[in-house]
Structure 1
Amino acid sequence: MLMRALTVDSIAVQRHRATILECVKDSVASIQRRALELINLLMNVNNVKPLAKELIEYLELSEQDFTGDLTAKIYSIVEKFAPEKIWYIDQMLKVLSEAGNYVKDDVWHVLIVVISNAPDLHGYTVRALYRALHTSSEQETIERVAIWCIGEYADLLVNDNGMLELEEPITVTESDAVDVFETAVKHHSSDVTTKAMALIALLKISSRFPSCSENANS
């Protein structure tokens, strides 16, 4: 009924947003999925930030069987309605940090493209990923994106270049950056893709950090 009502009076249905969000948290899978469909229909540029925030916060509590659907829907919403690139990047890092193991490969591939096409945010993003990696290293996709980003922009990470006003200062040495890759290569739970990305990134930064060349060749 709400689906039909939405096509007639979307403003009226918007008033039931809180109820629909609660249905996303329901224990019945069919209700959860129908609520997600409604959320998608309700979403617009004016409400995307609070709605995305609610959905991302629920990721921590969601059942594993539902997490895949929820992450896919959040990604779809963020990609479609993101008001600016920094917000898009922030939301995707939150998703990867909380439920990265449920994210499909094309999602983090697109994130890497977005990051590479946002030069003004390279410093901010590499620092955000470095921080996220230390709190969510069990999530394979956040590790992969962090490895790629540090491999590309390690100099910005080490030198604190491109700092934004909203950032807290962070101290990262060349050795710290190298440790990210070495840990990934040696970690027993890292898969072949992650280890290969780490090796490539290590070779990349060896040319910029001469002191690390020995590590890259060992």
Structure 2
Amino acid sequence: MMTPTHMLVAAGVATRRWMAGGLIAIAFFSGFLPDLPMLVMVIWARWTGFSGNMWDAPDGLYWSTPWQTAISATHSFPVWGAVFCLGLYLFYRNRGSKWALALMVLGAGAFVHSLFDFPVHTSDAHAHFWPFSNWRFISGVSYYEPQHYGNIVSKIEIVIGAAMVVLIFRRFRSWWVRGFGLFLCLPYVLELVPREWLFRLHQILF
């Protein structure tokens, strides 16, 4: 799924009404964190003037060992499961430690990100069981490839994202939480706007 959807789902799943703003921010961040290595890779490529193959297998930059290791680590069920369990252990050992609760929120949100990615990646699947295995589930369904039901999955993703925004609005009254939730819906608006409209707007502005 798109990173904004992951952030909305993480905030919906890993937060509770009584949580303060800091924990809510961690929940949003936990939905983004697994995709951080890809963002760093793109920034690095732009910064260094990299002009080679970026995404295509088998020799694209994305598929090189250092980046694949980082991406596998941040999409790993064992890694985020361990983070959540460590937070849970420390929470009960230290009688409700806020740091322990933050670890639980971080682990839960990132784990859910990986869980939602698992069934919707084809040839670009992640090694979700790293470091114990490099096995990848090659799904027949993709969240963006039309030839693998991407047109259908993208619409389902919009429904999921919208549902999470409604949940966030019902759960929190904070203006920044609600505002950020709405901001993360921007990709859905762009998805629904006809492509020719966006092209004309681009011509007018640039």
Q: Compute the TM-score of the two structures, normalised by the length of structure 1.
A: 0.27
The structure whose residues are more often helix, as a share, is 1
Q: Compute the TM-score of the two structures, normalised by the length of structure 2.
A: 0.28
Q: Of the two, which has the highest radius of gyration?
A: 1
More RCO (CA 8 Å, sep 6+)? 2
